[in-house]
Chains A and B, each alone.
Chain A
Amino acid sequence: MKQSLRFRIGFPLLVLIIIIPMIFPFLWMFMSAFKTQVDIISWPPKFLFSPTMVNFNKVFNEQNFLLYLKNSMIVGVGSVAISLLLGLPAAYSIARFHQKRLSVMILIARLMPGISFLMPWYIVFSRLGLMDSYTALILSHILIALPVVVWIMSSYFESVPLEMEESAMVDGATMQRAFVSIILPLSVPGIVTATTLSFIFSWNNFMFSQVLSMEKTRTLPIAVYNFMSYAEVDWGGVMAAAVAIMTPAIILTMVFQKYVVKGLTMGAVKG
């Protein structure tokens, strides 16, 4: 098909109008992370400057950033792993036995404001001496990851044809056996989607760690926020911290782009 000249010029222009506002904040953050404080507060804002590593040095050497990075990893991996363990069989059962009520319950977990469980947890975890523990944080983050896993996997399992289990069961395998050795391997794309998304959501979560963690188990979002609350904002340091926290999620998205798009858009398109 031949495209008109107007389209050939107009379309790329439209695309640019969409892209530039999307990407500019990232660009500015990235540039500022390599600027000295003097360059950052200069007026007019500088686009050209000589880059410095001062900010990253400060973030990784003076601040306890590596500890917070480790904490975020432990909490993210721990909560996603347990959510898969709990969520995969539940999602399978919802898909195969059409357990409507169960899936509504998971939906309600999505609707609830997080503070409505945080407040009771705060009371219980303080009494049990579990404040500032990985246990408390992982338990709370499972409530972020589990609905994502069940939501994505139940519709994924629905798309796997029933004959797969049936033929295995004719051969004498039990249903749970068929689930583990036939259905799960077939569902790897869905599992990748659920894992990536729920990990990113846990990674980005601010509120739960804000209440349940202190110095020992503090996760990255809190560390980044704390950077801000000093008397005079060290903009370069904050921007370096922001770059550091966003990079892993962005890399994950780059690697699993197709899955992330699918996970974010499913549910809605089907509805």
Chain B
Amino acid sequence: MIKSGFFERNLKYLFPLPALLFVLLLMVFPVLYTLFVSFTEWTLTSGRPMKFVALDSYLKIMREPRFLDAVGRTFSFTVGAVVAEAVLGTTIALVLNREFKGKNALKFILLLPLVATPVAVGIVFNLFYDPTIGFLNYVLSVLGLPQSGWVTASSTVLPSLMLVDIWQWTPMIALIVLAGLAGLSNEPYESAKVDGASGAQTFFHVTLPMIMPTILTAIILRAVDALKTYDIIYAMTGGGPGYSSETLNILAYKYSFEYFNLGQASSILVFLFFLVLLFSLGVMKIRKKFEL
């Protein structure tokens, strides 16, 4: 055994220590603090000191229609956007999963929406969606269809926002699935061919089962972010018109930094965190169950 110094013997603790301390100080403590504040009644602007109220903030928020609407909206936004992204992204990956000239250029184009600043993306789509000068209403009028209010009407605002999310993040699923497809072995395909399987049969019985774990992981990654969508919605509508596009994250922001109602803001945040956590655990369980 080589004689080694203190540093060497404790490397496995010393190496991660700085990062660990940082995470503890700037993440774990703040989150515990938020958890604590969620059991209090504390509005900064009221001038009254923080008061411990146990579950009162949670009960108050549960009775708040804005909160209940935001929960439903967060769900529909996430499910709608992510399902569309998964279907479109997988389709795109299957189309592009072959060698052709300009494949790299195409991958670069797929990367563009992913690296584009969400706030700026939101603003560009606002110009598209503008009811009077927007390009999309122009297209509708050329096609002879009735014009839409897009993000300015409460009936269409959520699908319009979902469309932006779908535009920005479908390429991510496409790239992930494409990378997954590239790593598949050739053997199952050859035996499928020998067995005389049709194209559709090969897809459903060979490709899809092999690629499913990758798709599910991509879905988890996407859904975790979609549940927390903030930039696009804030930039495009600020939660409006009225409250009609408020998701949980937008609501939590408003409670924290517009109303300074920190007690109830924290309850919303704790709720959102458990939602994200439960969702991730749920999908991972599904993966295990089907041995994906």
Contact = CB atoms under 8 A, between A and B. Distances in A.
Interface of A: 11, 14-15, 18-19, 21-23, 25-26, 28-29, 32, 40-45, 85-87, 89-90, 92-94, 96-97, 99, 102, 105-106, 109-122, 139-140, 142-143, 146, 150, 169, 174-176, 200, 203-204, 206-207, 211, 220-221, 224-225, 227-228, 235, 238-239, 241-242, 245-246, 249-250, 252-254, 257, 260-261, 264-265, 267-269, 271
B124 A242 contact: yes
Contact of A45 (B2, B15, B135): B135
Given A11-B100, A117-B26, A119-B266, A89 B15 contact: yes
Given A174-B7, A206-B235, A271 B214 contact: yes
Candidate in B12, B95, B110 with the most chain A CB atoms within 10 angstroms: B12
Contacts of B217: 267-269, 271
Contacts of B27: 109, 112, 117, 143
Contacts of A42: 133
Contacts, number: 257
A268 B176 contact: yes
Contacts of B172: 264
B249 interface: yes
Interface stretch (B58-66, B112-120, B202-210): B112-120
B18 A86 contact: yes
Interface stretch (B101-109, B152-160, B193-201): B101-109
B19 A28 contact: no
Contact of A40 (B95, B113, B133, B221): B133
A249 B115 contact: yes
Given A45-B135, A86-B19, A269 B214 contact: yes
Contacts of B262: 119
Interface string B220-250: 0100100010110011000000000000010
Contacts of A99: 12, 16
Given A105-B23, A206-B235, A253-B108, A116 B120 contact: no
Contacts of A115: 249, 252-253, 256, 265, 269
B273 A116 contact: yes
A239 B127 contact: yes
A47 to B, nearest CB: 10
A120 B26 CA distance: 9
Contacts of A11: 95, 100
B148 interface: no
B188 interface: no
B214 A268 contact: yes
A23 B214 contact: no
B112 to A, nearest CB: 6
A44 B138 contact: yes
B128 interface: yes
Interface in B81-126: 92, 95-96, 100, 104, 106-121, 123-126
Interface centre among A23, A29, A32 (most CB of B within 10 A): A29
B47 interface: no
Contacts of A14: 95
Interface of B: 2, 4-5, 7-8, 11-12, 15-16, 18-20, 22-23, 26-27, 29-31, 33-34, 37, 92, 95-96, 100, 104, 106-121, 123-128, 132-133, 135, 138, 167, 171-172, 175-176, 178-180, 183, 213-214, 217-218, 221, 224, 228, 230-231, 234-235, 249, 252-253, 256-257, 262, 265-266, 269-270, 272-273, 276-277, 280
A45 B235 contact: no
Looking at chain B's contact residues, the main secondary structure is helix
B280 A238 contact: no
Contact of B133 (A43, A204, A264): A43
Contact of B123 (A114, A140, A238): A238
Contacts of A175: 8, 11
A109 B37 CA distance: 20
B269 A119 contact: yes
Contacts of B180: 268-269
Given A111-B273, A261-B175, A271-B214, A228 B123 contact: yes
A268 B177 CA distance: 9
21 contacts: A28-B127, A41-B133, A45-B133, A86-B19, A93-B12, A93-B16, A94-B16, A113-B276, A116-B266, A119-B37, A119-B256, A119-B269, A174-B8, A176-B7, A176-B15, A203-B117, A206-B117, A207-B231, A224-B119, A239-B124, A265-B178
A43 B135 CA distance: 9
Contacts of B167: 21-22, 25
